[in-house]
Amino acid sequence: MDPRSTECSGQTGGTGYRLSGLEPELSITSDEALSLEELPKRAVILGGGYIAVEFASIWNGMGVTVDLFFRKELPLSGFDDEMRAVVARNLESRGINLHPRANLSELIKTEDGIKVITDHGEELIADVVLFATGRSPNTKRLNLEAVGVELDQRGAVKVDEYSRTNIPSIWAVGDVTNRMNLTPVALMEGTCFAKTVFGGQPCKPDHKDVACAVFSIPPLSAVGLSEEQAIEEAHGDVLVFTSTFNPMKNTISGRQEKTIMKLVVDAETDKVLGAFMCGPDAPEIIQGIAVALKCGATKAQFDSTVGIHPSAAEEFVTMRTVTRRVSAGTKPKTNL
């Protein structure tokens, strides 16, 4: 998204956001947010994904008044709904002002700052307005049409399971293919390309059970299928195990911010389909859990693993009681 444009595309495509009266100095992207000369006192962020939530947490932690606007009921579309609700509660408890199902309609330069007008008629003043609504693949300047490389409707390069385009001599990896836009995934795709083309070892990138993290405060980390995805894909019932507790560091400090852990299990095979955590050190812990899921671990194997005490991670191997059992094809009932 170009901050000098009067339009910026939304995360899910469509007509995107159109802001009338937009001038170049009235909005920034995450590029400019990393090189601000002064820390703003008041920030408005538009978006509900990784960048929006992370910058909201960073600026809030530095004392900035933050208003976060997003189009859905909860931020972080694509993540497990129950964990999205946890992140939303944590953001609000830390003083971030959430504006769900909201959009911006106009930005106006004033003596006091930037007047932000929402589609609900709400008005507020900000020192900086950050658009974190997603980016289009940067393919326009490559002149791919001249050689016949096929692009999708968003401009992403179409590739097969080996990352080869429709032109046999041209390959593409990373965000430009709009498959799974994470840096380690791009590295994996590049490695598979090198093995296939230069190493004589045909290798398909595996996008299943890729762990990821949102570095909010506290962070959210996930691997595998969300509860919603598991219910949709499972042939039988899905078991959900959850654990909520107050970390010892919070007990000492008095902060009432719970750590939440969750396992999603196939009731028939006992295979762990997904693991989620929101709390301190979540990415460090889920990275290890990701290895177990990649190996096809079962809930029984989790249960037979002795925990490290005292640690938060031991909760993943001591969750014995089923929180709920959900039949395949039914709508998940999460504690939102």
Please indicate, yes or no, if residue 53 is contained in any of the structural domains.
Answer: yes
Confidence class of residue 330 from pLDDT cuts 50, 70 and 90? confident
Catalytically active residues, by annotation: 309
- Give the sheet arrangement for strand 123-126, strand by strand: 104-110, 113-118, 123-126
Indicate if 14 and 126 belong to the same structural domain.
yes
Mean pLDDT estimate for the chain: 90
Distances (CA, A) of 161 to 157, 178, 269: 13, 13, 28
pLDDT reported for residue 30: 94
Whether the predicted model's global pTM rises above the 0.85 cut: yes
DSSP strand pairing (97-99 vs 65-69): parallel
Domain that holds residue 172: 140-197
Q: Which residues of 187-200 are buried (b: 16+ CB within 10 A; e: fewer)?
A: ebbeebbeebeeee
Indicate if 127 and 22 belong to the same structural domain.
yes
State the total domains in the chain. 3
The CATH number covering residue 89 comes to 3.50.50.60
DSSP strand pairing (17-18 vs 123-126): unpaired
Interval 111-129: pLDDT, tens: 999 999 999 999 999 999 9
- Pick the range with the lowest mean pLDDT from 69-78, 83-92, 203-212, 324-333: 324-333
**Domain final residue, candidates 197, 231, 246:** 197
Please indicate, yes or no, if residue 202 is contained in any of the structural domains.
Answer: no
Please indicate, yes or no, if residue 159 is contained in any of the structural domains.
Answer: yes
pLDDT reported for residue 11: 32
**Does pLDDT of 271 surpass 80?**
yes
Residue type, 26: L
Please indicate, yes or no, if residue 18 is contained in any of the structural domains.
Answer: yes
Indicate if 280 and 179 belong to the same structural domain.
no
CA 63 to chain centre: 24
Please indicate, yes or no, if residue 205 is contained in any of the structural domains.
Answer: no
CB neighbours of 37 closer than 8 A, spacing ≥ 6?
Answer: none
Indicate if 13 and 121 belong to the same structural domain.
yes
Confidence class of residue 3 from pLDDT cuts 50, 70 and 90? very low
- Residues 326, 227: contact at Cβ < 8 Å? yes
CA 236 to chain centre: 28
User: Which contacts (CB < 8 Å, 24+ apart) does range 59-65 have?
Assistant: 60/91, 60/94, 60/95, 60/96, 60/217, 61/94, 61/217, 63/39, 64/39, 64/40, 65/41, 65/95, 65/97
DSSP strand pairing (42-46 vs 238-245): unpaired
- Residues 22, 116: contact at Cβ < 8 Å? no
pLDDT reported for residue 334: 55
Q: Report the C-alpha gap between 62 and 34 in whole angstroms.
A: 14
Please indicate, yes or no, if residue 331 is contained in any of the structural domains.
Answer: no
**Does pLDDT of 193 surpass 50?**
yes
Q: Report the C-alpha gap between 44 and 27 in whole angstroms.
A: 10
- Pick the range with the lowest mean pLDDT from 53-67, 133-147, 224-238, 240-254: 240-254
Higher pLDDT, 310 or 186: 186
Please indicate, yes or no, if residue 315 is contained in any of the structural domains.
Answer: yes
What is the average pLDDT across 146-168?
A: 97
Please indicate, yes or no, if residue 206 is contained in any of the structural domains.
Answer: no
Question: The tokens of 20 are what?
Answer: 């009338």
Confidence class of residue 22 from pLDDT cuts 50, 70 and 90? very low
